Amino acid sequence: MTQALWIKNPLAILADNAEGGIVVKDDRIVETVRRGKQPVYSGGMDVVDASEHVVLPGLINTHHHFYQTLTRACPPALNKELFPWLKALYPIWAGLTPEHMALASRVAMAELLLSGCTSASDHHYLFPASLTNGIDIQVEEAARLGLRVTLTRGSMSLGEEDGGLPPQSTVQDDDTILTDSLRLIDRYHDAREGAMVQIALAPCSPFSVTPDLMRASADLARSKGVRLHTHLSETEDENEFCQQVFGMRPVDYLESVDWMAGDVWLAHGIYFTEQEIARLGRAGVGICHCPSSNMVLASGIAATLDLEAAGAPVGLGVDGSASNDGSNLIQEIRQALMIGRLKYGASRVTHWDALRWATKGSARCLGRDDIGTIQAGKQADLAMFKLDELRFSGAGDPLAALLLCGAHRADRVMVGGQWRVIDGEIPGLDLTELQQQHSKKAADLIKEV
């Protein structure tokens, strides 16, 4: 951006004292403008009329599995709960190739961008012999689309032969996992403010890795200053597995492997007791709430308000596209609002809460304070929505209407001061061609099993 840009007089904006808009220069927000005021910024400035737009901080997705876009509504996995669902899909996923990974990641990231997402974390834990460079492929695809990413080097080391859930063809030994984890951190992780790529370490789950790998991953992550991520307490089956195999509940297991800390965020986090919630909150462990996935697999409902009250950051994630089965973050916020009200009541969970989880809360889960809010000095990550569809006709409060009336596609999306979505389209990306290529690869992958 050669000169500043004033995004002027939005219809509504999720920010304090910014009714007159936002001034962006290079990759940052340099000023928020009060209602009826002119910017203080004195340099050259272009203007975008935002009077028909609801402006949000760029939405942040804190848990996904990009590769799963290839197995949406997959017949062998339909109408199953988590463990049998995984058992049905593991043999299919074992056939992933670099071409599968590139197309799946491109589709997932494009969907996210079009839904107003500017920053996404992906949890990739499958490294069969045919796909050992999955994270490298994701880095390339993220750069191609301009999406800010935290890519987690997942892992599975506990196969069926050793009492775990995944087939042996999908697991790796500890040395291979840790060596590649170190390689990826050294090559790609950017700890600076405004980073476009960060790496985290993410052993998949208690039922697919060993305690030794959990400890070793924590040691490596802390020595390199990166964060830690895993699935935890998603189902009662997982709780029972931990008690049978480790002799303790998942939260106790987490503490036993030195993961009860503020550099950790967990996916799902449903089956916690009150005492466990208090412990997680004291430690500052983040929780990524995945409402659609939890509903599809009938896993349960996360105790979002209780976790926040205890001190745990709460973010939002679409989860994998085989259990959602989409990558639309603005729709996921609506799901979080609705299921939150089912748990807590209509007056306790508001649209403000759900929007906070997908912005400021998600940023906290990722350990970032340069994104997630619209403030001077923050990264210029913005999502702009129009309320010009029939579903919004008659709506009163524009911010509430985004969720209650079911917004599903952003009109404009900015990442680091660069427009990545304009007029509801991603410049330079042929979605028709991408869909054709992706659909063919998905069909071939399932056919091979």
Looking up residue 180, the CATH number of its domain turns out to be: 3.20.20.140
> 136 and 174: one domain?
yes
Q: Phi/psi of residue 84, each to 5°?
A: -65, -30
**Same domain? 196 vs 265:** yes
In a domain, 427, yes or no: no
Q: Compute the half-sphere exposure of residue 290: CA atoms within 13 Å on the CB side of its CA.
A: 35
Question: Which value, in Å, is the radius of gyration of the alpha carbons in the chain?
Answer: 21
Are both 31 and 119 inside the same structural domain?
no
- Amino acid 160: pLDDT: 85
Residue 253 lies in a domain: yes
CA distance 50 to 6: 9
343 within a domain of the structure (yes/no)? yes
Q: Are residues 381 and 404 in the same domain?
A: yes
341 and 388 together in one domain: no
State whether the Cα torsion 431-434-435-436 is positive or negative.
Answer: positive
Q: Is residue 441 part of a domain?
A: no
206 and 350 in a single domain? The answer is yes
Domain containing residue 16: CATH number: 2.30.40.10
User: Which domain covers residue 383, as residue numbers?
Assistant: 4-57+375-422
How many other C-beta atoms lie within 10 A of the C-beta of residue 278?
A: 17
Residue 193 lies in a domain: yes
Q: Quote the CA–CA distance of 19 and 43 in Å, as a whole number.
A: 21
* Helix (H) or strand (E) segment spanning residue 180: helix 174-188
Same domain, 329 and 409: no
Query: Cα–Cα–Cα angle for 388, 392, 397, nearest 5°?
Result: 110
Asked if the structure places residue 447 within a domain, the reply is: no
The number of distinct structural domains making up the chain is 2
**DSSP state letter for 258:** T
If asked whether residues 68 and 45 sit together in one domain, one would say no
258 with 313, same domain: the answer is yes
Task: Among 342, 365, 388, identify where a domain stops.
Answer: 365
**Which pLDDT tens digits describe the chain residue by residue (449 residues)?**
579 999 999 999 999 999 999 999 999 999 999 999 999 998 899 999 999 999 999 999 999 999 999 999 999 999 999 889 999 999 999 999 999 999 999 999 999 999 999 999 999 999 999 999 999 999 999 999 999 999 999 999 988 888 888 888 889 999 999 999 999 999 999 999 999 999 999 999 988 899 999 999 999 999 999 999 999 999 998 899 999 999 999 999 999 999 999 999 999 999 999 999 999 999 999 999 999 999 999 999 999 999 999 999 999 999 998 889 999 999 999 999 999 999 999 999 999 999 999 999 999 999 999 999 999 999 999 999 999 999 999 999 999 999 999 999 999 999 999 999 999 999 999 999 999 999 999 999 988 76
- Calculate ∠ Cα 299-302-307, nearest 5°: 155
Q: Please indicate, yes or no, whether residues 200 and 341 belong to a single structural domain of this protein.
A: yes
| Residue 445 covered by a domain | no
What pLDDT, on the 0 to 100 scale, is given for residue 332? 98
Give kind and range of the element (H or E) at residue 281: helix 274-283
Buried-exposed string 128-158: b where 16+ CB fall within 10 A, e elsewhere: beebeebbbbbbebbeebbbbbbbbbbbbbb
Query: How far, in Å, CA of 166 to CA of 155, rounded?
Result: 11
Degrees to nearest 5, angle at CA 7 with 115 and 61: 25
Its pTM stands at 0.97
Helix intervals (H) in 62-166:
82-93, 98-114, 134-145
153/220 same-domain check: yes
Round to whole Å and give the CA distance between 61 and 363.
9
Q: Are residue 181 and residue 72 in the same domain, yes or no? A: yes
Closest alpha carbon to 419 in 147, 86, 203, 130: 147
Q: Residue count of the chain, please give it.
A: 449
Does some domain include residue 370?
Answer: no
